[in-house]
């Protein structure tokens, strides 16, 4: 059964909440994610574009493609402590920009508590990764180097970085199905009304994981970025060395529908190949529908080192761009 909330093995959440009978403990973990951009047509400079007095510099509007041949590095340090039935966790993101040190940053990704209120009920509060949608936020938990279009829509609907949300949630294991209800700040952080989220996870048969999620947003005509209420359904089926999945989202406005369909073939314990087809249809006038195709191969070089190569094509009918990246993910 899959859920982004992990409670004592019955439910899932990437926080590793300890069971009630465990002794008090504290852990530090994290990862480094290094991406090398081999080619990126989407960053090609416009014809004739340059900055006065600096025709060859890597600045906005310059004549160069300033991303190709560049390294970028992101990382995360996760600190977690469990005492009895309560776990506290803080995730700290760090980023080294590939072009200029002034864009380097550090920020708090998650900061929350998880309280195992009863054997089948856990209360969670703080800033957490968005439980709506299949795709995770952190590089070690992602199936590809780049995020799919469904994640991009969800990220665009949350003012907090990384598609994160702020509020309180209750996760209830009903035996065969897990239900999560949450009271959140308005996703866009601009409306006085709260957002409400409801999530259901089930595994009706071996290898099949289902999730249905719903989150509200105020019908605020003064906020053109709000897609209003969002509904997401995703499913994953695992059979032997093959994995297939789909994530489908629809919204009240702006986005008509968006989906990711992906497949994985695990060649060996160390080698895997993956493919993903994505498409988004907009309701908003003047915004072009987009299709994206992604091919990905990975090698688990060591228990804590993954090396991957990804090719991605994005096509909206007017522009058709390719991007190739190499990625190195080291965990600790």
* Mean pLDDT of all residues in 291-304: 98
Tell me, what's the pLDDT at 132? 94
Q: What share of the chain is helix, strand, coil (3-state, %, to 5)?
A: 5, 55, 35
Share of the chain above pLDDT 70, in %: 83
How buried is residue 12: exposed, middle or buried, by Cβ count under 10 Å (0-12/13-18/19+)?
middle
Query: What integer is the mean pLDDT of 171-180?
Result: 95
Q: How is residue 16 written in tokens?
A: 């590793």
Q: Is residue 300 part of a domain?
A: yes
In a domain, 80, yes or no: yes
- Mean pLDDT within 96-112: 76
- Residue 65's pLDDT is 76
Q: How many structural domains is the chain composed of?
A: 1
Residue 44 lies in a domain: yes
Q: Is the residue at 234 inside a domain? A: yes
Is residue 35 included in any domain, yes or no? yes
Beta bridge pairs of residue 263: 244, 275
pLDDT in tens, 125-153: 999 999 999 999 999 999 999 999 999 99
Domain of 238, CATH number, reads 2.40.160.10
- Report if residue 313 sits inside a domain: yes
In a domain, 1, yes or no: no
Question: 286 lies in which domain range?
Answer: 6-331
- Against a cut of 0.85, is the pTM above it? yes
Angle at 328 between CA 327 and CA 332, to 5 degrees: 145
pLDDT mean over 159-176: 92
């Amino acid at each position: 059964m899959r859920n982004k909330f992990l409670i004592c093995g019955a439910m899932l959440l990437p926080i590793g909440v300890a069971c009630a009978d465990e002794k008090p403990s504290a852990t530090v973990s994290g990862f480094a994610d290094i991406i090398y951009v081999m080619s990126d047509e989407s960053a090609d400079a416009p014809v004739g574009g340059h900055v006065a007095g600096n025709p060859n510099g890597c600045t906005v509007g310059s004549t160069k493609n300033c991303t190709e041949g560049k390294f970028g590095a992101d990382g995360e340090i996760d600190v977690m402590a469990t005492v009895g039935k309560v776990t506290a966790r803080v995730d700290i993101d760090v980023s080294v920009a590939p072009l200029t040190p002034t864009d380097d940053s550090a920020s708090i990704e998650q900061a929350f508590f998880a309280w195992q209120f009863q054997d089948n009920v856990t209360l969670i509060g703080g800033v957490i990764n968005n439980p709506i949608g299949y795709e995770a936020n952190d590089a070690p938990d992602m199936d590809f180097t780049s995020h799919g279009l469904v994640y991009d829509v969800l990220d665009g609907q949350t003012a907090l970085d990384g598609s994160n949300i702020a509020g309180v949630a209750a996760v209830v294991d009903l035996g065969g199905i897990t239900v999560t209800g949450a009271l959140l700040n308005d996703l866009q952080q601009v409306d006085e009304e709260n957002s409400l989220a409801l999530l259901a996870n089930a595994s009706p048969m071996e290898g099949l994981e289902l999730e249905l999620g719903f989150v509200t947003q105020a019908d605020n005509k003064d906020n053109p970025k709000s897609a209003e209420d969002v509904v997401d359904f995703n499913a994953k089926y695992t059979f032997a060395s093959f994995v297939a999945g789909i994530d489908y989202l629809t919204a009240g406005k702006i986005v008509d529908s968006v989906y990711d369909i992906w497949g994985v073939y695990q060649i060996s314990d160390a080698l895997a190949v993956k493919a993903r087809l994505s498409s988004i249809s907009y309701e908003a006038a003047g915004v072009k529908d987009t299709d994206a195709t992604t091919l990905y191969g990975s090698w688990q070089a060591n228990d804590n080192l993954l090396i991957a190569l990804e090719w991605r094509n994005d096509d909206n009918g007017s522009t058709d761009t390719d991007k190739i990246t190499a990625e190195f993910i080291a965990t600790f």
